[in-house]
Chain A
Amino acid sequence: MITATRKPMEEILKSVEPFRKILLLGCNECVTVCHAGGRKEVALLGAALRLGRLQKGQPLEVEELTLERQCDPEYVEELARTVDQYDAVCSMACGCGVQTIAERYPALPVMPMVNTEFMGASEANGVWAERCAGCGDCVLGYTGGICPVARCSKRIFNGPCGGSTKGKCEISKDVDCAWQLIWDRLKELGQTELYSKLMEPKDWSTARDGGPRRIVREDMAL
């Protein structure tokens, strides 16, 4: 899922400084799961914003709402009738949600309240880790299900590099070397021949390097 973390309060308070009445808008999907921007966080940030502004003697009206999904036009449409009442929308969704709102309501300032982080998986309660970089040409089938793009610090494909020590990456003793993980897993699977096979240079045009990407499914279009 897409992970996010709340922006620092100082930055948030500064960004809402010009406004008197805002819509604080959460999203019921990824940011709810990673505890960054669901109904609960909307209520907490709403209270903190009201308190923070009252403390400065500049009360802020905060209307709280959480859409099913902020990155889908049909849910964003729900705001059409009420959106004029606000000076700004403060979105707790990921960058996709923020941009969907901004595109649909161009006359209204839209402020991000979270920093969108990465595509991650949940390792334990309260812990998320980067697992995929969306490269558009998945190699997990050759690497024992461990991603060298997202999990090797150098994104190398015929690893490990010379910095791998005792299973840890040279950037930090707390980071597993992805290529060590890949090797261990391939051994477990009895697929070490995959490791010996030289991987060709990767065509990065399917990733961000090819410019902004789109998926068009003609069979789905209405």
Chain B
Amino acid sequence: MSDFEPVVVVFACDYCAYTAADVAGRMNLEYPAGVRIVRVPCTGKVDSLHVLRALEKGADGVMVAGCLEGDCHFKNGNLRAAARVKALKRLLDDINIGAGRVEMVRMSAGQGAVFAETARDFAETIREMGPNPIKPAAQAA
């Protein structure tokens, strides 16, 4: 699977991860081309269904990127998101899609380097897992 370029959807919180991605851009830091960023007001607003829909539409992995613990602009949105991601991991394992395809990550707005590194690492993990197993079947259907 050397030519497999994973599509990773990142739900990035406006107050931290999205800004961090911006900083990464200004610092000319590279992260994989398959990383697609969806800006959200808070990871607390990321519904389990958003993650499942992304996977249904063929994303290979989904990253929910929120603020550092204790630093959520809306107090505990990132903790709620983390609880959802935990439940989703169980569900994804139960349907053999793989818990590893969704991850909760945290960073502050200034951490452009952390964003780039986290995105690279996650994309690498997904590359190792291989494409979302539903892709061929979804195309055939």
Contact = CB atoms under 8 A, between A and B. Distances in A.
A50 B137 CA distance: 11
**Binding site secondary structure of chain A:** helix
Given A54-B141, A55-B97, A56-B137, 7 more contacts: A9-B91, A40-B49, A51-B95, A52-B97, A57-B136, A57-B140, A59-B138
A52 B137 CA distance: 11
Interface in A10-59: 10, 13, 40, 43-44, 47-48, 50-52, 54-57, 59
Interface string B73-108: 000000000000000000100111100000000000
Given A43-B49, A55-B96, A55-B97, A48 B137 contact: no
B96 A59 contact: no
Interface residues of A, number: 17
Contacts, number: 51
Interface of B: 48-49, 52-53, 55-56, 91, 94-97, 133-134, 136-138, 140-141
B134 A51 contact: yes
Given A44-B52, A47-B56, A55-B134, A9 B94 contact: yes
A8 interface: yes
